[in-house]
């Protein structure tokens, strides 16, 4: 065997070892692990990306038109009516490709939201749907044989909440719904059809909306400012929320070029003109700058909160010093003990109910006996009356027969006397 000399990197005495035990060394040449970001990019591009968007707003506010304009395509979808009994969610998934990047886009549309007379429970289908997607991912994550790399992640990454351009204040439905959803999804408030109010009214409306959201404790999604490259842009955009947008797929000729716009008798509102609306800002923040942060926030914040609450309901806690297996055994024993306790309670309850039923049957039996005795007495009394009546009738009958016999004898005697007199 050949001996191998292992050379250790020299450690300078003037550099103390950090408390973590990790030493910092300087490389004397190029190694190659600086290509890790490129490797991640290539892997991500080959696998493709997933983005799930919930568009929430009242019927007729322009949700479908806004989605078509955002992604510059025509998504199929029929218009919904205003007479639905409750809120429903329609989910449609599309495969999109731009350059060499593939995106699996899922659009979730709220149908019938805000159309009911009683709107107190309008948010429940939304909360249930978002929780259901979290539950599906959690079930896949807890499987023994997982396949998360092939799993279609259906968790909602962003919610565009379309606000009616009233120019006054938010509706109570908007505040209640956003309050229920702010811990489950990234909410971006958007003023729809903003071309229906003037610029001065629009600025006042924006300030009013943000003031009401803050005063009611509604937490909307804030564009991240920890990345220096986009910190200034995101900080500026945070101050311009909610975005006031106009959606349209109609092409109108303005000057020498065709642009997406809405044509009115008094003029043209250009969708991609920042002087007319905030559509460009919304698309920039939603798709071009912060899409990955929304995906990461959904996983690291909203899903983690759901996961933690679920595991705590199951009895798992980070404060316990027991291993997962011991925790499972402990919870199983507690569950079995609880089942035994419930079984004993049910048995005792069954015994009590049997005794109560026996007491009821005994009372019913006594009552029946009492009724029987009463009937028996009544029967005896009636029988005695009938016997007395019968005896009376028999006596009368005997008396009648005696009188009849006497009458017959008297009549016979009278007849014989008359016949004797005639013979003489």
- Residue 120 — very low, low, confident or very high, per pLDDT cuts 50/70/90? confident
Specify the residue for token string 């009546």: 389
Query: What pLDDT is stored for residue 59 in this prediction?
Result: 84
Instruction: Please write the tens of the pLDDT for every residue from 132-144.
Output: 999 998 888 887 7
Q: Which residues are CB-neighbours of 114 under 8 A, at least 6 positions away?
A: 57, 58, 59, 122, 173
Residue 12 has pLDDT above 60, yes or no: no
Measured N-to-C along each axis, helices 172-181 and 199-215 cross at an angle, to the nearest 10 degrees, of 50
148, pLDDT greater than 80: no
Half-sphere exposure of 131 (CA within 13 A, CB side): 12
What percentage of the chain has pLDDT greater than the value 90? 22
Confidence of residue 131 (pLDDT cuts 50, 70, 90): very high
What is the predicted pLDDT for the residue at 158? 92
64 near 90, Cβ under 8 Å?
no
The pLDDT score that the predictor gives to residue 8 is 44
H-run or E-run covering 97? strand 88-98
Q: Which residues are CB-contacts of 288 (< 8 A; sequence separation ≥ 6)?
A: none
Looking at residue 179, its pLDDT comes to 92
Task: pLDDT band for 5, please (50, 70, 90 cuts).
Answer: very low
Q: For the chain, how many residues are written?
A: 424
Decide if pLDDT at 80 tops 80.
no
For 342-368, what is the mean pLDDT? Answer: 91
**320 compared with 54, residue with greater pLDDT:** 54
Q: Please check the confidence at residue 13 and state whether its pLDDT lies above 50.
A: no
State the pLDDT at residue 149: 76
Read out DSSP for 206-253?
Answer: HHHHHHHHHHTT---------SHHHHHHHHHHHTTPSEE------EEE
Q: What is the mean pLDDT of residues 188-217?
A: 89
Q: Are 110 and 66 in contact (CB under 8 A)?
A: no
CA–CA distance from 190 to each of 126, 138, 195, 214 (Å)? 18, 31, 13, 16
pLDDT of residue 18: 64
**Alpha carbon distances (Å) from 18 to 8, 14, 22, 23, 24:** 19, 12, 6, 7, 9
The whole-number pLDDT of residue 101 equals: 87
Has residue 387 got a pLDDT over 60? yes
> Which range has the worst mean pLDDT, 71-80, 120-129, 210-219?
71-80
- Please report the pLDDT score of residue 16 as a whole number: 61
Spell out the residues 6+ positions from residue 316 whose beta carbon is closer than 8 angstroms to its own: 324, 327, 331
Q: What tokens were used for 342? A: 């419930």
Average pLDDT over residues 49-73: 87
> Using CA atoms, how far apart are residues 414 and 389, in angstroms rounded to an integer?
37
> What average pLDDT does range 330-339 have in this prediction?
82
Strand arrangement of the beta sheet that strand 251-254 belongs to: 251-254, 257-264, 267-270
Q: How confident is the model at residue 323 (pLDDT cuts 50, 70, 90)?
A: low
Token pair of 261 as six digits:
């716009």
Q: Which two structure tokens, joined as six digits, stand for 247?
A: 């959606």
Residue 119 has pLDDT above 80, yes or no: no
Q: At residue 22, what are phi and psi to the nearest 5 degrees?
A: -100, 120
Span 291-319, pLDDT tens digits? 899 999 999 999 999 998 888 887 766 66
Mean pLDDT over the full length of the chain? 84
Can you tell me the mean pLDDT for 192-197?
86
Give me the pLDDT at residue 297, please: 92
């Amino acid at each position: 065997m050949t001996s191998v000399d292992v050379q250790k990197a020299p450690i300078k005495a003037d550099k103390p070892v950090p408390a973590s035990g990790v030493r910092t060394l300087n490389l004397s040449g190029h190694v190659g692990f600086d290509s890790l970001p490129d490797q991640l990019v290539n892997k991500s591009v080959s696998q493709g990306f997933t983005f799930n968007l919930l568009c929430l707003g009242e019927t007729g506010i322009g949700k479908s038109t806004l989605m078509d304009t955002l992604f510059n395509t025509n998504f199929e979808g029929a218009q919904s009516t205003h007479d639905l009994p409750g809120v429903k969610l329609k989910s449609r998934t599309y495969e999109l490709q731009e350059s060499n990047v593939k995106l699996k886009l899922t659009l979730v549309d709220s149908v019938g939201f805000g159309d009911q007379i009683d709107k107190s429970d309008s948010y429940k289908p939304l909360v249930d749907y978002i929780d259901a997607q979290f539950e599906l991912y959690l079930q896949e994550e807890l499987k023994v044989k997982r396949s998360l790399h092939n799993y279609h992640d259906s968790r909602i990454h962003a919610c565009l909440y379309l606000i009616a351009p009233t120019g006054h204040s938010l509706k109570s439905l908007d505040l209640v719904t956003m309050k229920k959803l702010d811990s489950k999804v990234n909410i971006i408030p958007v003023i729809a059809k903003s071309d229906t109010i003037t610029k001065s009214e629009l600025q006042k409306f924006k300030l009013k909306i943000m003031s009401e959201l803050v005063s009611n404790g509604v937490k909307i999604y804030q564009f991240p400012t920890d990345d220096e490259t986009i910190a200034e842009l995101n900080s500026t955009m945070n101050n311009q929320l909610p975005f006031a947008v106009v959606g349209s797929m109609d092409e109108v000729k303005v000057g020498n070029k065709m642009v997406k716009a809405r044509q009115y008798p008094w003029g043209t509102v250009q969708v991609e003109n920042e002087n007319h609306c905030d559509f460009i800002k919304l698309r920039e923040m939603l798709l071009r700058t912060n899409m990955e942060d929304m995906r990461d926030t959904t996983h690291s914040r909203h899903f983690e909160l759901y996961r933690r609450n679920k595991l705590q309901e199951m009895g798992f806690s980070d404060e316990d010093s027991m291993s997962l297996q011991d925790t499972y055994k402990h919870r199983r024993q507690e569950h079995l003990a609880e089942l035994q306790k419930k079984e004993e309670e049910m048995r005792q309850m069954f015994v009590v109910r049997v005794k109560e039923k026996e007491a009821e049957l005994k009372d019913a039996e006594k009552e029946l006996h009492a009724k029987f005795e009463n009937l028996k007495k009544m029967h005896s009394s009636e029988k005695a009356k009938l016997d007395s009546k019968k005896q009376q009738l028999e006596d009368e009958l005997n008396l009648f027969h005696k009188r009849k016999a006497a009458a017959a004898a008297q009549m016979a005697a009278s007849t014989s006397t008359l016949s004797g007199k005639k013979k003489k």
